[in-house]
Homo-oligomer: A and B are copies of this chain.
Amino acid sequence: MKQALVLGAAGFIGRHAALALRNAGYTVTGIGHGGWSEQDQRAWGVERWHASDITVEALTTYANMPSVLVQAAGSGSVAFSMTHPVQDYSRSVTTTLAALEFIRTEAPDCALILPSSAAVYGNVSTLPISINHPLMPVSPYGAHKAIAEDLCRSYGRSFGVRSAIIRLFSIYGPGLRKQLLWDAYHKLKAGEPNFFGTGGECRDWLHVADAADLIVAAVSHASAVTPIVNGGTGISIANRDVLAWMAAALGGDCQPRFSGTQRGGDPIGHQADISEAIPWGWQPRRQLRDEIPAIVDWIERGAF
């Protein structure tokens, strides 16, 4: 049986990656932080779970000779990185270094898949954004993701470690208890529909299950030259449309209002050029507008 190791497996992207790998035939070991029940672990495809800091020693102890390692550990929050840059760095970069060093010294045949972020690009005016666009991250979160990518490239070049980088755009789906859809539901329900921004800010929304499928697709393309793909749909959607769809799903009694000011560190517009991902035999299968009722349903059933 093929073994996979998911770092940060209890997180939003980590658990979806674990499930997709299990469904692709892997036995999945998870390492990281976050309390979840054994029942949840199994439901998300995790056969063995180790609550631990992610260090070379922990990986050497628990990893179980993986052929794939998904580095999904990280804070996942631009705002957190602005108030806690060292902690964000530790969760994003130090964990990636541990994973690479573990592979170099203990599991040289293992491929590393790094879910990175469109935040590495910063504010780009020419859309869609190519993977070749210069990186100008505007938050510590984005800067740290770019550094994690650099480490993958360095270990590939100097030591032949195989990896692949997926720059994920705006990931959404059941399990994400923050960001626009989560906020929108609660603010609209509470009758306090005040949102940052102008409503004209655009995002490229990728369903987390599509992101997880892309992570699995990346496994057979990981190499010492560290290929990079964007993980998005190629479609840009304005926040005002997202909120209007959410308002409609909730009955339309409450309409969103915008502050007109932008939050520091957030990009103004994003749209992925997914030219490099398509040849991997992957494509996004879900559209945000169609998925909003499922998000609402998930929140109302108690947001497990």
Question: Interface residues, chain A, CB within 8 Å of chain B?
Answer: 56, 82, 85-86, 89, 97, 101, 104, 137-140, 143-144, 146-147, 150-151, 153-155, 157-159, 265
Number of copies of chain A assembled together: 2
On chain B, the residues within 8 Å of A158 by CB distance are: 82, 85, 138-140, 143, 265
On chain B, the residues within 8 Å of A143 by CB distance are: 150-151, 153-154, 157-158
Partner of A101, one of B85, B146, B159, B265: B85
Compute how far the CA of A154 lies from the CA of B81 in the bound complex, rounded to whole angstroms: 11
Q: Which 5 A-B pairs have the closest CB atoms?
A: A143-B154, A147-B147, A86-B101, A140-B158, A140-B154
Compute how far the CA of A153 lies from the CA of B86 in the bound complex, rounded to whole angstroms: 15
Nearest to A81 among chain B residues (CB) is: B158
On chain B, the residues within 8 Å of A157 by CB distance are: 138, 143
A-B contact pairs, 30 of them (CB 8 A): A56-B86, A82-B158, A85-B101, A85-B104, A85-B154, A85-B158, A85-B159, A86-B97, A86-B101, A89-B97, A137-B154, A138-B157, A138-B158, A139-B158, A140-B154, A140-B155, A140-B158, A143-B150, A143-B151, A143-B153, A143-B154, A143-B157, A143-B158, A144-B154, A146-B150, A147-B147, A147-B150, A147-B151, A150-B150, A158-B265
